[in-house]
Amino acid sequence: MTNRTAFVTGASRGIGLACARALASAGAKVILAARDASKLEAASKEIPNSTWVELDLASPDSIKAAFAKAGKVDILVNNAAITKDGLALRMKKDDWDAVIATNLTGAFLAIQQVLQGMMKERWGRIINISSIVGETGNPGQANYVASKAGLIGLTKSLAQEMASRNITVNAVAPGFIDTDMTAVLSDDLKANLLAHIPLKRLGKPEDIAAAVKFLASDEAAYITGHVLDVNGGMYM
């Protein structure tokens, strides 16, 4: 991936940070993007050949500014996501809108920022981080699930639009990964989850990063429109 520039959203921690490290280790110049400038700065210091930009995916202006600062992007990893869980019956429209705006619309607007450059280069990798729940559904997460299922549909449509320009578009659907998002789960809930995972463990951010690194590589040049499940066998 030498001479390639990768832009990773939600890169200040968890899966995004692991993806940034993996792509840097493969030789890419990495731009870390997220909302928390101090965390980004600290993360970037430990990753060789990396820089960072502030990015709020709920803001179209912030997206434009971040990508203008980034310049040419060869590999885009759409990882940033938020949750605002609640039963559909009582879900506030603001909570629905906020999750869709960041997780789905923000990802789409980020893609729009890089397409022209990739088309000119006739090379590009777009990798959208979806979720196991985007494939299975999950009670109490109608907004999050809809956003992650939407990313899968977006991936498949864009893969068809961009294939003639040698731009691949794929999704990675993580299962339950040991991150800040799952750290808040109760022990009972974790035990119940593990009972449904054939590999009997939560995933590590590095498990997802390895899949992202592969899909961004030349070895994956003939893979597009694919959803790569990295879930320990929880959903097949």
- As a whole-number percent, the residues of the chain with pLDDT over 70 amount to 100
Fold of 5-226: Rossmann fold (3.40.50)
pLDDT tens for each residue of 55-96: 999 999 999 999 999 999 999 999 999 999 999 999 999 999
Q: Report the alpha-carbon distance of residue 56 to residue 80 in Å, rounded.
A: 9
Question: In the chain, where are the structural domains located?
Answer: 5-226
Q: What is the pTM of this model?
A: 0.97
Among this protein's residues, is 144 annotated catalytic?
A: yes
Select from 118, 170, 148, 151 the least CA-distant residue to 6: 118
Q: Pick the catalytic residue: 23, 144, 220, 230? A: 144
Interacting residues of 135 by C-beta distance below 8 A, sequence separation 6+: 149, 152, 173, 227, 229, 235
pLDDT tens for each residue of 185-201: 889 989 999 999 999 99
